[in-house]
């Protein structure tokens, strides 16, 4: 395996997610950990992409000042007020995914749980940050093992609190 993570191709559908050892991805609408290297991995990968994202995840990105010209957002929500210069709103994941695919950009599925679940059978690749720890929370990534398992990239890392692995998997 190469030292650099594979770059997503235009038109490809990619799931990007960070989870703990039990596939936990959230607590009260946020990640239950703060890992700067993971955040940078996420932001670098989705740069230039078409991001299909649920309202809660999108509002967290918006609140952090991360909605800008570096990526296009396709938000699944009934709240049309979320539409903006870099954001379109759709009432279903299927509509958001179709619009993102039509953009010609790499498509990134950025959460939450139901959007991940709907897109697992449709995605080409999984970009996973596996945090080697268990946390308490209320949102879990659906099981990807029936869809992905061909590991094409892995880089192990750690910070002062956690060890984690960046893993990229193709479909079987």
Which residues, 6 or more positions from 95, have their beta carbon under 8 angstroms from its beta carbon?
none
Give CA–CA dist 18/9, Å, rounded.
21
Ordered alpha helix ranges (H), 21-91: 36-46, 55-63
**What's the confidence (pLDDT) of residue 65?**
83
pLDDT, tens digit (0-9, with 9 covering 90-100), for 109-141: 999 999 999 999 999 999 999 999 999 999 999
Is residue 90 within 8 Å of 75, Cβ to Cβ?
yes
- How many Cβ atoms from other residues are within 10 Å of residue 38's Cβ? 19
**13-171 CATH pick, 3.40.50.720, 3.20.20.70, 3.40.430.10, 3.40.640.10:** 3.40.430.10
pLDDT, tens digit (0-9, with 9 covering 90-100), for 29-63: 899 999 999 999 999 999 999 999 999 999 988 88
* Token digits of residue 103: 């953009």
């Amino acid at each position: 395996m190469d030292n650099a993570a594979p770059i997503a191709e235009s038109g490809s559908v990619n799931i990007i997610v960070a989870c703990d050892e039990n596939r936990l991805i959230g607590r009260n609408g946020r990640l239950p950990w703060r890992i700067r290297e993971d955040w940078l991995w996420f932001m670098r990968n989705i740069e230039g992409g078409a991001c299909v994202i649920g309202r809660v995840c999108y509002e967290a990105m918006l609140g952090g000042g991360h909605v800008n010209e570096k990526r296009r957002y396709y938000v699944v929500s009934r709240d049309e007020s979320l539409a903006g210069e870099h954001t379109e709103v759709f009432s279903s994941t299927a509509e958001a995914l179709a619009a993102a695919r039509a953009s010609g950009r790499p498509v990134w599925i950025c959460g939450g749980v139901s959007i991940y679940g709907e897109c697992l059978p449709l995605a080409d690749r999984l970009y996973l940050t596996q945090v080697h720890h268990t946390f308490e929370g209320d949102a879990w990534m659906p099981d990807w093992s029936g869809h992905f398992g061909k590991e094409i990239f892995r880089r192990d890392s750690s910070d002062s609190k956690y060890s984690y692995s960046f893993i990229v998997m193709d479909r079987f």
